[in-house]
């Protein structure tokens, strides 16, 4: 199927194996634990070293990719640190990372221009590699199966709703026995693409109640910060009265309660692989050339769609890469975007790229210089 720019993406190849999200990985953080291993790469090996960092949302996947690649390609040394999307972009811009992972594409303007400067004769590309939903997680003693409209979430995370028995939460959950417990909203403490995507969702679906636009840095008052997806998961799991947004594989690995979310079709929708896939199907490519930025419709009216999803990008130079590292960079990125690499995602609670997007990504990687 041919990908049309500004047209709908092909349907995600998401299967029931995404239920294996609870397996996590052998990451040492609370998001990990599984012994699953990605299939050995069929791509040609290259030697050398790569340093990378960024998104914590993709760390479980990246750990497995690196393990599989280095098992076959003994002459390669690759590191990936889950420092957060903002830190990853900064490291890439400062040339201390060979590529970066970010849950948001480079912002047009200053951020894109700063990243472009390190790419002599070229530009910094956004290459979509991992897709996955954002879960709204909570810990309210004795209360299960909560559901929220966007406006309610906007009021909670902006500090306007302060207790769990607030009338707005009751209206969303008429059958729930809600306590008067104070709400503690947990957000990411560092610059985070997950925060950017979540606040983008709030700004697009509840703009009158969320006046902070969207950003990698948390702008709303109040609440408490936690570092990384693993930090958010741990804080919610350990603290009664909390609510947060969390990458799905971390939420399921930590057995957190996950809320249903009201979508543009007027339905409270459970977070499932199929429901998230319906939203990603409507994403549009808005970048130019090999810069494959995607735009997600958070107000999707597709029946049964779960509306809060993110795409994690690998950020790399189209030209101006270190010649001593170029072969390894292209070989590794080719592997993680391949059928073998993408198949490993279902073991980690993510979704593989649609075939049409995958082909575009592989073409862009082949052209790196």
Give the up-direction half-sphere exposure of residue 264: CA atoms within 13 A in the CB hemisphere.
17
Lowest mean pLDDT among 13-17, 34-38, 128-132: 13-17
Taken in order of first residue, the domains within the chain and their CATH numbers are 48-131+284-293+310-367 (3.40.190.10), 134-277 (3.40.190.10)
pLDDT at position 271 over 50: yes
Tell me the average pLDDT across 348-359: 77
Residue 40 pLDDT class (50, 70, 90 cuts): low
Query: Strands, DSSP E only, in 281-336?
Result: 284-285, 294-295, 309-317
Lowest mean pLDDT among 3-12, 90-99, 115-124, 300-309: 3-12
Residue 26 pLDDT class (50, 70, 90 cuts): very low
**Annotated binding residue 34:** no
Residue 37 pLDDT class (50, 70, 90 cuts): low
Kindly tell me the burial class for residue 311, based on how many C-beta atoms sit within 10 Å of its own C-beta (0-12, 13-18, 19 or more). Answer: buried
Per-residue pLDDT tens digits for 215-242: 999 999 999 999 999 999 999 999 999 9
Q: What is the pLDDT of residue 275?
A: 87
Provide, rounded to the nearest whole percent, the portion of the chain with pLDDT above 70. 88
Tell me the average pLDDT across 259-283: 90
Q: What is the pLDDT of residue 146?
A: 98
**Annotated binding residue 7:** no
**Annotated binding residue 103:** yes
Tell me the average pLDDT across 200-205: 97
CA distance 244 to 271: 15
**Annotated binding residue 55:** yes
Per-residue pLDDT tens digits for 292-347: 998 899 999 999 999 999 989 999 999 999 999 999 999 999 999 999 998 887 66
**Annotated binding residue 249:** no
**Which residues have C-beta within 8 Å of that of residue 220, sequence separation ≥ 6?**
157, 158, 159, 187, 212
SS3 assignment, position 162:
coil
What pTM, to 2 d.p., does this model score? 0.75
Q: What is the pLDDT of residue 169?
A: 98
**Annotated binding residue 259:** no
> Is there a contact between 118 and 317 (Cβ–Cβ < 8 Å)?
yes
Tell me the average pLDDT across 65-77: 95
Q: What is the pLDDT of residue 34?
A: 41
CA distance 3 to 357: 7
Q: What is the pLDDT of residue 7?
A: 38
> Is there a contact between 241 and 183 (Cβ–Cβ < 8 Å)?
yes
Per-residue pLDDT tens digits for 146-165: 999 999 999 999 999 999 99
Q: What is the pLDDT of residue 276?
A: 85
Q: What is the pLDDT of residue 4?
A: 40
Average pLDDT, the chain: 88
């Amino acid at each position: 199927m041919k990908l049309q720019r500004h047209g709908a993406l092909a349907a995600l190849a998401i299967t029931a194996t995404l239920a294996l999200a609870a397996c996590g990985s052998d990451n040492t953080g609370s998001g990990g634990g599984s012994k699953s291993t990605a299939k050995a790469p069929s791509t040609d090996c290259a030697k050398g070293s790569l340093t990378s960092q960024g998104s914590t949302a993709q760390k479980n996947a990246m750990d497995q990719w690196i393990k599989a690649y280095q098992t076959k390609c003994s002459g390669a040394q690759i590191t990936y640190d889950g420092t957060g999307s903002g830190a990853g972009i900064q490291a890439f811009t400062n040339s201390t990372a060979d590529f970066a992972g970010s849950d948001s594409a480079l912002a047009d303007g200053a951020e894109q221009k700063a990243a472009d400067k390190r790419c002599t004769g070229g530009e910094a590309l956004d290459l979509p590699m991992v897709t996955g939903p954002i879960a709204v997680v909570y810990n309210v003693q004795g209360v299960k199966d909560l559901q929220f409209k966007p406006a309610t979430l906007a009021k909670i995370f902006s500090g306007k709703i302060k207790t769990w028995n607030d009338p707005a939460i009751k209206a969303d959950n008429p059958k729930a026995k809600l306590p008067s417990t104070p709400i503690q909203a947990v957000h990411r403490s560092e610059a985070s693409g997950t925060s950017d995507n979540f606040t983008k969702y709030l700004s697009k679906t509840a703009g009158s109640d969320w006046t902070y636009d969207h950003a990698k840095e948390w702008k709303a008052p109040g609440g408490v910060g936690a570092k990384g997806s693993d930090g958010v998961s741990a804080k919610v799991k350990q603290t009664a009265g909390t609510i947060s947004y969390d990458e799905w594989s971390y939420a399921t690995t930590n057995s957190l309660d996950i809320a249903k979310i009201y979508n543009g079709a007027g339905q409270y929708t459970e977070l499932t692989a199929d429901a998230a896939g319906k939203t990603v199907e409507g994403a549009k490519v808005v970048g130019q050339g090999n810069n494959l930025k995607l735009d997600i419709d958070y107000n999707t009216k597709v029946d049964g769609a779960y509306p809060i999803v993110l795409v994690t990008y690998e950020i790399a130079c189209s030209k101006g890469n270190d010649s001593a590292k170029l072969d390894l960079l292209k070989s590794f990125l080719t592997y993680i975007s391949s059928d073998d690499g993408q198949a490993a995602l279902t073991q980690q609670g993510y979704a593989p790229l649609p075939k049409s997007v995958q082909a575009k990504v592989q073409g862009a990687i082949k052209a790196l210089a």
